[in-house]
Amino acid sequence: MIAGLLGGTVVGDKDTAVHTVSSIEGGKPGSLTYLTNPKYEQYIYTTEASIVLVNESFEPTAEVKATLIKLPDVGVAVLKLLEMYNAMKPQKKGISKMASISEKATVGEDCYVGDFAVIEAGAVVGDGAKIYPQVYVGDGVKIGAGTTLYPGVKIYEGCSVGANCIIHAGAVIGADGFGFLPKPDGTFDKIPQLGNVVIEDNVEIGANTCIDRAKTDSTIIRKGVKLDNLIQIGHNVEIGENTVSSAQMGIAGTSKVGHNCFLAGQVGIADHVKIGNCVKIGSKSGIDKDVPDGEIRFGSPALPGINYHRSFAVFKELPDLRRRVAALEKEINK
């Protein structure tokens, strides 16, 4: 049945049955697993899993106890299986009597609203949205159809979230941008943050990520963006379509990031910086200058990819170079 669903070819017992999934190294009898990364091939010869999905090109070099299903693209097949499994899980439905929903709010059809969720006046929640317990949806907030807000998400007044978005637990959307005006006496005046946050369709935002509202206008997260956990997006930032960022990335106010970029973990981007389209930035890099389209950056301050690797090749040799210079100086002094 599985081979038929995925369009694969069975090698081994065609009657093998499974009831769960597992990793290839931790496979147990009755489980299905997969091999996508060649460095894990060693485990296919020892796994106790009953079925292993492999690419058509895979040829074992030793005996494999499991039944193999050969497929054109294992990654695509695994995604299809996981989507089918997820669709079969029980879906949350209904509106809790312990939720607080303003009479001036609009909640669409087939929505789920959990215990102690709060939906304020003027908020609009689209059809099929899921609002988990203890979510706060502020005045005038718009939530698109099919969007899921996991427990503890807070969305401040006036912000907008598109359709089919996923916002994970503890994320805060629309808190004030970090704006303060220094005074002669060393104290600060708070600059009012009057804008909002606009999140377009099909965006996923990780747990405890914070996206600040704009001072004026909007902080904008374009469609298809995927943000990991523990990310900070400053006021008036714009992130282009289908850009992806790993955890602990931070972008200071008014910077712009293009479409289809990849920002690795702990990247820091200074204020008023423009990142072009299809840019890749390595982990822990610090960006304080504009980056053109298609560039690769590493390091802090960041350098173009090839320059960084050349510089690092020199840097790691510095201790030995220092010893050699010291020895030469000693000879010269003699």
Token pair belonging to 55:
């690419």
CA-to-CA distance for 69 and 15, rounded, in angstroms? Answer: 12
> How many other C-beta atoms are found inside a 10 Å radius of the C-beta of residue 98?
11
> In sequence order, which ranges of the chain are alpha helices (DSSP H)?
2-6, 74-88, 305-315, 318-333
Q: Are 22 and 28 in contact (CB under 8 A)?
A: yes
Sign of CA dihedral 73, 79, 81, 83: negative
What phi and psi, each to the nearest 5 degrees, are found at residue 21?
-120, 160
Is residue 239 exposed (0-12), middle (13-18) or buried (19+ Cβ within 10 Å)?
Answer: buried
What phi and psi, each to the nearest 5 degrees, are found at residue 220?
-125, 130
> How many other C-beta atoms are found inside a 10 Å radius of the C-beta of residue 214?
23
CA-to-CA distance for 126 and 119, rounded, in angstroms? Answer: 13
Catalytic residues: 235
Hey, which bits of 180-272 come out as E strands?
A: 180-182, 188-190, 196-199, 204-205, 210-212, 218-221, 226-227, 232-233, 238-239, 244-245, 250-251, 256-257, 262-263, 268-269
Q: Are 246 and 207 in contact (CB under 8 A)?
A: no
Using CA atoms, how far residue 124 sits from 90, 102, 161, 205, in Å, is 25, 11, 10, 20
